[in-house]
Structure 1
Amino acid sequence: MPLMEHLYELRRRLFFAVLGLLLGTVLGFIWFGVQVGPIPSLGDILTRPYCAVPTEYLADISDAQGCQLLATGPFSILQIRLKAALMAGAVLSSPIWLYQLWAFVAPALYSREKKFAVTFAASAAVLFAGGAVLAYIVISEGLSVLLGMGADTAVAALDPDKYFSFLIAMLLIFGVSFELPLLLIMLNLAGAVTGAKLAKARRYAIFGLVVFAGLVVPGNDPITMLALAVALVLLYEVAVQVSRLHDRRKAKRLAAEGLGELSDDEASVLPGGAGGGVAVDPVAPPAAVADADPVAPPKRTTDS
């Protein structure tokens, strides 16, 4: 396709992706205050970690209406509902905008590349969802530690904007951090790192992951930091074992082909050379050139 047709195709795909996101956001805005059968409302789902905090740490402002946040501005509730609707819309409409992205990229890929792209995209989605679920589970424990720091001198009534910002940050940090094993496995498949090197660097990696968990967690409470650090260490070990398995399969395949493992400064075997096939005859040394008679210089002629 010419460049302009690529741009038209990109514009069309972006239009349908944004349209899907808009429809998902509208559904999320409605779902925020409506319970759909056995599924609780989006507002209840998002406030459940806060409501799981022991009541002695929270201010009693609910007026017997259940657990509620404290809005401190006239537009606080509307802004939070829009943010929650946009976040839910991105999740609900993900099949639409992911398909549009795939439909734009897929024609330029070979069948093998398509298979790898689908595998890694599906793995990335599962890992991100797993990280977000873990964050959702440990947020209530982290909030209990943070809000319990006041002992008997203070109680908490969180602002919706700050609470939802904290919640979204936790979900994103855990979700993105869970992509670590996928990144390491991709580097291994590309030949940039081996499973043996990853295993050798295990102690340094564990130290770095613990420091990373302590730096990126917004609450800096020990519960969420420990949960993220332990999860990342386990995922790192999974990446090490998968990389080792891939390296063993690669070594067996190369051995079956008669190639074996070569160092960076070692030349590979030529077809028909050592390792299989017909041997190549060496090149004969050059023959000496016989001395030739010197060529007489041309005679000079003068004009008459």
Structure 2
Amino acid sequence: MTKVAKDHNEMSFLDHLEELRWHLIRSTLAIVLIGCVAFVMRGFIFDTIIFGPKNLDFPTYRFFCAVATFFGVDSEFCGDSLPFTIQSRLMAGQFSAHIWTSIWAGVIIGFPYILWELWRFISPGLYEKERKHSRGFILVASLLFFIGVLFGYYVVAPLSINFLGTYQVSKEVTNEIDLASYIGTVRAAVIACGIMFELPIVIYFLTKVGLVTPEILKKYRKIALVIVLILSAIITPPDVTSQIVVAIPVLILYQVSIYISKVVLKKELKKEKEQKNA
């Protein structure tokens, strides 16, 4: 079986570097272009998206308020506003936040294109059959990433902001949150969840190259649980409820990954038998 090469000739190391450079340049240009659009849409990006979880009319807060009301329980999610303000203490603080938020918006929105450029770089080194079986890679990986982003934005970010923004060691201390700190909390929740939701894709490729098997995943399930809880503690406020909310979907993805690993391994064994019998 022959590999699919770009020019049907072997490329030198410098040729590969040159090709990688152009893939990186095109990915960067995509990020910059999307970032420029995000920069112009400042009102929507900041007032609607970034500062959305700061307001108690945010869908997540309304949901928890409705649940608490249904059970007749008082809840802080049913208040008028969160008791903290956002401030910028640096001369270029707001402009810097505007620039970096636009860049990260470019990374998140442009994620499918970045994946596509990455795929264009590595796909010539794959066998034709492997390329065919991995045809839906970009779609599935992008879908998982955006599901993770939405989960981080609508679940992790509001829980973090509500807990940390209302937490007080004493009534003598008022919460005046720095702009960069607030945006960093939202960004960390969104990006971290987006990456964590890529777990099935990672397991798929690790199984393909023989580094992971379903038996290994089952054997180290308890260790994986501990790692998931640690990661949940990092990206969520230090309360058990938030950590469990984040840990549950990741553990579900881990179980899905075990199933994916089984399917991939079964296909690989079947392929080996066919090659031996041929």
Instruction: Output the TM-score relative to the length of structure 1.
Output: 0.66
**Aligned-pair distance for 1:9?**
4.0
Distance 1:98 1:180, change over 3 A: closer
**Aligned-pair distance for 1:27?**
0.7
> Which residue matches 1:31?
41
Alpha-carbon separation, structure 2, partners of 1:164 and 1:234: 29
Q: 2:189 aligns with which of 170, 183, 190?
A: 170
Instruction: Output the TM-score relative to the length of structure 2.
Output: 0.72
1:9-52 deviation per Cα after TM superposition (whole angstroms, max 9, x unaligned)? 4444444333322222211100122xxxxxxx111211111223
Look up the SS of the partner of 1:158 in the other structure. Answer: strand
Alpha-carbon separation, structure 2, partners of 1:159 and 1:125: 32
Q: 1:16 aligns with which of 4, 26, 29?
A: 26
**1:144 correspondence with 2:191:** no
Among the aligned pairs, what percent are the same residue?
23
1:238-279 deviation per Cα after TM superposition (whole angstroms, max 9, x unaligned)? 11223334455566x3797597xxxxxxxxxxx79xxxxxxx
Look up the SS of the partner of 2:108 in the other structure. Answer: helix
Look up the SS of the partner of 2:250 in the other structure. Answer: helix
Q: Which amino acid aligns with 2:41?
A: W
* Structure with the larger helix share: 2
Does the 8 A contact of 2:55 with 2:82 survive in 1? no
Look up the SS of the partner of 1:209 in the other structure. Answer: helix
**Aligned-pair distance for 1:200?**
4.3
> Which residue matches 1:131?
148
Look at both structures and tell me which one has the larger radius of gyration over its CA atoms. Answer: 1
Q: 1:50 aligns with which of 47, 54, 57?
A: 54
RMSD of Structure 2 on Structure 1 (CA): 3.3
Distance 1:200 1:92, change over 3 A: closer
Alpha-carbon separation, structure 1, partners of 2:192 and 2:127: 33
Distance 1:23 1:157, change over 3 A: same
**Aligned-pair distance for 1:218?**
5.5
> What runs of 5+ residues in structure 2 fail to find an aligned partner?
1-10, 57-76
How many residue pairs match? The answer is 244
Alpha-carbon separation, structure 1, partners of 2:140 and 2:133: 10
> Which residue matches 1:296?
none
Structure with higher RCO (Cα < 8 A, 6+ apart):
2
1:187-214 deviation per Cα after TM superposition (whole angstroms, max 9, x unaligned)? 3333334324433443443344224422
Q: Which amino acid aligns with 2:164?
A: L
